[in-house]
Amino acid sequence: MRHRAIDPKLFVENRARLRERLLPNSVAVVNANDILPTNADGSLRLVPNSDLFYLTGVSQEQTILVLYPDADDEKHREMLFLRETNELLATWEGHKLTKEEARKLTGIEHIYWLEEFPALFHRVMCEADHVYLNANEHKRAVIEVETREARFVRWVRERYPLHQYHRLARILHRLRAVKSPPEIELIQEACALTDKGFRRVARKVKPGITELALEAEFAHEFIRGGGNFAYTPIIASGANACVLHYIDNDQPCRDGDLLLLDVAANYANYNSDLTRTIPVNGRFTRRQRQVYNAVLRVLRACIAGLRPGKKWKEWQREAEQLIEKECVDLGLLSLREIKRQDPARPAFKRYFMHGVGHPLGLDVHDVGITTEPFEENWVMTVEPAIYIREEGLAVRLENDVVIGRDGNVDLMADIPLEVDAIEDLMRR
């Protein structure tokens, strides 16, 4: 295990919150993700199923969680099914969880091997009235390959067509959006690791260094600290920064350009998400400083604007109005142009075309019901930007923020952000 052990109380309490929201006499099932193939006989490293990890802390392939709170037999109320190891598996793939290790990790008493699943699942299905099945219901998900969950849903509905089926994702999205104190601590650890990586890289940046070399410096710090990249890093110098998802990271950093770093760490499957924009030669030009400070003002206002009860679309609209004003002050837009614009295609969209933030947690673009008002203890990214393609420069800034009732907590408050702080860090 790369990260420190997590108190199983977190997963016990997460399951308890889920049980409270199930209909009477319901069974709920969550499966692990598949190990995905690459080419020839290659495969990718397993990406844990976030819902399964949220409820159990287990990252092992082929795992199945079954919850049946109203089961007559108490051994069937919480069941975890694991892949049983053998000498061949141990030789080729390494250690797999024992039943005792799984009990300690998850707080689940009744652990079974996968071969026992069909008979035990049939028994609970014969007793249950309602069945909650899981799926990836993220709005931006592009699903082209049938997942393990999708295959399981199809199999269950074919075999047991007369049950009443329900969507587990809607419940889990609401639960996972509100972070508990232990979850916020893990996200804070990911942010601290990101801080170390950023400081390391900022001191390495100079004209002529490649984006790729800087990616390697981040990797060194993240992996050494027991984490990894939260997402494919964006290390974009000059005009490359105007490409929102630039991931080639193969160009030299040139004197006089800005360097956009959208790079952050994952720790214990919890993610951080950071963006900083810094001068390659260590000094902002007058124009770069103007654009940077404009985005910084919007960032500060948007962090302050995160409040329980506000809807995401209202927060986004506020950010866009702020960006529009800054674009006028920077000479990018005129008031006449704004007055004559097509409301469906506002002029500021040339310079800011994406959302100002998103939920963060076990997924970088974490789940949550974004049509509903923000709640206390949501963790949100705040990432305004201005992209000026005609000038070959872009500034995006991003911090991770816990929404509070009496004030927000910026989890990245210690990472240099002001122009003078950035220049001072780079000098050192």
Q: Which CATH code is given to the segment(s) 181-427?
A: 3.90.230.10
Task: Indicate where the chain has its CATH 3.40.350.10 domain(s).
Answer: 9-177
Cβ atoms of 338 and 324 within 8 Å: the answer is yes
In this prediction, residue 254 has a pLDDT band, given cuts at 50, 70 and 90, of: very high
User: Terminal CA-to-CA distance of the chain, rounded, Å?
Assistant: 35
In this prediction, residue 150 has a pLDDT band, given cuts at 50, 70 and 90, of: very high
Tell me, which fold does domain 9-177 have in CATH? Creatine Amidinohydrolase; Chain A, domain 1 (3.40.350)
Q: Which two tokens stand for residue 338?
A: 């704004």
Cβ atoms of 354 and 275 within 8 Å: the answer is no
In this prediction, residue 1 has a pLDDT band, given cuts at 50, 70 and 90, of: confident
228-229 β-sheet, strand order: 228-229, 265-267, 270-271
Q: Which of 354, 355, 377, 368 is nearest to 307 (CA)?
A: 377
Which helix (DSSP H) or strand (DSSP E) does residue 393 occupy? strand 393-396
Q: Which two tokens stand for residue 11?
A: 């997963």
How far, in Å, CA of 316 to CA of 312, rounded? 6
Q: Which two tokens stand for residue 215?
A: 């990616």
How far, in Å, CA of 228 to CA of 116, rounded? 35
**Biggest CA-to-CA distance, the chain:** 75
Return phi, psi of residue 19, to 5°: -60, -35
Question: pLDDT tens digit string along 113-125?
Answer: 999 999 999 999 9
- Asked if pLDDT for residue 313 goes beyond 90, the answer is yes
Return phi, psi of residue 12, to 5°: -60, -45
Q: Which of 219, 371, 195 is nearest to 273 (CA)?
A: 195
Q: Give the chain's radius of gyration (CA, Å).
A: 24
Question: pLDDT tens digit string along 169-188?
Answer: 999 999 999 999 999 999 99
Helical residues (DSSP H) of 203-262, grouped into ranges = 211-224
> Region 190-196: what's the mean pLDDT?
98
Q: Tell me the DSSP string of 118-183.
A: HHHHHHHHHH-SEEEE-----TT----S--HHHHHHHHHHHH-TTSEEEEHHHHHHHHHHB--HHH
Task: Indicate where the chain has its CATH 3.90.230.10 domain(s).
Answer: 181-427
Per-residue HEC secondary structure of 347-389 comes to: HHHHCCCCCCCCECCCCCCCCCCCCCCCCCCEEEEECCEEEEH
Question: pLDDT tens digit string along 330-379?
Answer: 999 999 999 999 999 999 999 999 999 999 999 999 999 999 999 999 99
Question: pLDDT tens digit string along 9-26?
Answer: 999 999 999 999 999 999
pLDDT at residue 73 in the model: 97
Instruction: Give, in order, the Cα–Cα distances in Å from 42 to each of 45, 62, 195.
Output: 10, 18, 34
pTM: 0.96
Cβ atoms of 80 and 65 within 8 Å: the answer is yes
How far, in Å, CA of 168 to CA of 171, rounded? 6
- Asked if pLDDT for residue 35 goes beyond 90, the answer is yes
Strand ranges inside 169-272, DSSP E: 228-229, 234-237, 258-262, 265-267, 270-271
Torsion 280-281-282-283 (CA) sign: negative
Q: Which of 64, 39, 40, 38 is nearest to 51 (CA)?
A: 64
pLDDT at residue 12 in the model: 98
Helical residues (DSSP H) of 228-365, grouped into ranges = 286-305, 312-329, 335-339
Hey, what amino acid is at 16? A
Q: Which two tokens stand for residue 418?
A: 């002001």
